[in-house]
A = this chain, B = another copy of it.
C-alpha cells in the first residue's frame, strides 16, 4: 500500500477557543478535522475540572505541508496571548492524499 507524507497539526486549547480555531481552519479552506475534550495542566493551571467552560479540547488536523505554516502563524498571532493553548506538528503518512 503506497503511503503519502502529510502533516498532523494538533492543537490543545481551552474549549472556548475551539470556535476560533475552526474559523481559522475554515478561512484556510480546511474543512477536515477531529476534536475531543481533554483535561490538562500547563502554564494556566489545571484545566478540566469545575465549570463546563473550563475544559480543554484537542483539535487534530491532517494537513498538507503547504498550508501548515499559514495556519500555525495565524493561530499563534491571534490566540497565543489570550488563550491557554499548545500546538505541535507531527509527520504522518496517509493512503488517500487527495482527501487533504
Contacts and interface: CB of A to CB of B under 8 A. Distances in A.
Interface of A: 1, 3, 6, 8, 10, 12, 31-43, 48, 56, 58, 62, 69, 72-73, 76, 80, 86-96, 99
A93 B88 CA distance: 5
Nearest to A76: B95
Q: How many copies are assembled?
A: 3
Contacts of A37: 36
B90 A92 contact: yes
A3 B91 CA distance: 13
Contacts of A95: 72, 76, 87
A87 B99 CA distance: 11
A92 B62 CA distance: 14
Contacts of A38: 34-36
Contact of A36 (B39, B41, B80, B88): B39
